[in-house]
Amino acid sequence: MKGKTLFVSGGTRGIGKAIVYAFAEKGCDVAFTYATKADTAKEIIADIESKYGIKARAYALNILEPETYKNVYEEFDKDFERLDFFISNAIISGRAVVGGFGPFMRLKPKGLNNIYIATVAAFVLGAQEAVKRMEKTGGGSIISMSSTGNLVYTPNYAGHGTNKAAVETMVRYAAAELGEKNIRVNAVSGGPIDTDALKAFPNYEEVKREVVRRSPLSRMGEPEDLTGACLFLCGNESSWLTGQTIVIDGGTTFQ
């Protein structure tokens, strides 16, 4: 990982933050985006640069305006000479998903469209800009974070689950077309991970109990549980692996 650069969307908390630290620990320079927490981003940059001796930068991005990825990458180009890995991780929650997070009969177009924009469109536009940089260095690895909400029924999750299925399909299409550029594209699908986003669910305690009950490992997933797959997919060990989804769910999808 030394001498290489990662760009991950949504890097100030949860899974994104865990990915930032995991790659930095391996000697990889890291760039990440944040929505509003500029101070948190600065704290993370200072921490990982002092701990691991790598270069880190952060950029503001509204994931509901993915066309602005172009502007973010222009800033990235001022700070970094190369891009090797792109991980699409940022998600939306709160008021933006009203009408998209809820029972089937309460779903509304605006909430559903917002989830699509933040999940599928943001992956496409972020990856397109990444490809332009990866071509200059002879290839790279692109990952979309996903979730098992498209495999296992999860109350109120229809809007998110269907869009996770959509982004996994988009991953396969991207992999089929970008292979000639030596760019691999895969997805990492996590079971319910104990993050702030999950804790925002009104039925969080119920979900947690059910996950612990279903998992043969008898625990919730943690953000760090997903970083190993991301490192693997960006390493030489996975050089012939593309167009796939790696499921990390503590065994819950089998129960």
What are the boundaries of each domain within the chain?
5-249
Which of 61-65, 189-193, 218-222 reaches the highest mean pLDDT? 61-65
**Residue whose C-alpha is closest to residue 192's, from 231, 232, 248:** 248
Task: Quick: pLDDT tens for 74-119.
Answer: 999 999 999 999 999 998 888 899 999 999 999 999 999 999 999 9
Give me the residue label for tokens 């769910």.
249
**List 164, 173, 181, 208, catalytic entry:** 164
Its sign, for the CA torsion 96, 159, 70, 143, is positive
Contacts of 47 (CB under 8 A, 6+ apart): none
Alpha carbons 108 and 106: distance in angstroms, whole number: 6
Task: Say whether 157 is catalytic.
Answer: yes
Q: Does domain 5-249 have CATH number 3.40.50.2020?
A: no
Alpha carbons 97 and 9: distance in angstroms, whole number: 19
**List 37, 78, 157, 199, catalytic entry:** 157
Q: What does the mean pLDDT of the chain come to? A: 95
**What percent of the chain has a predicted confidence (pLDDT) above 70?**
98
pTM comes to 0.95
Listed in sequence order, the DSSP H helices in the chain are: 14-25, 38-52, 69-79, 109-116, 122-134, 158-178, 196-199, 204-214, 227-233
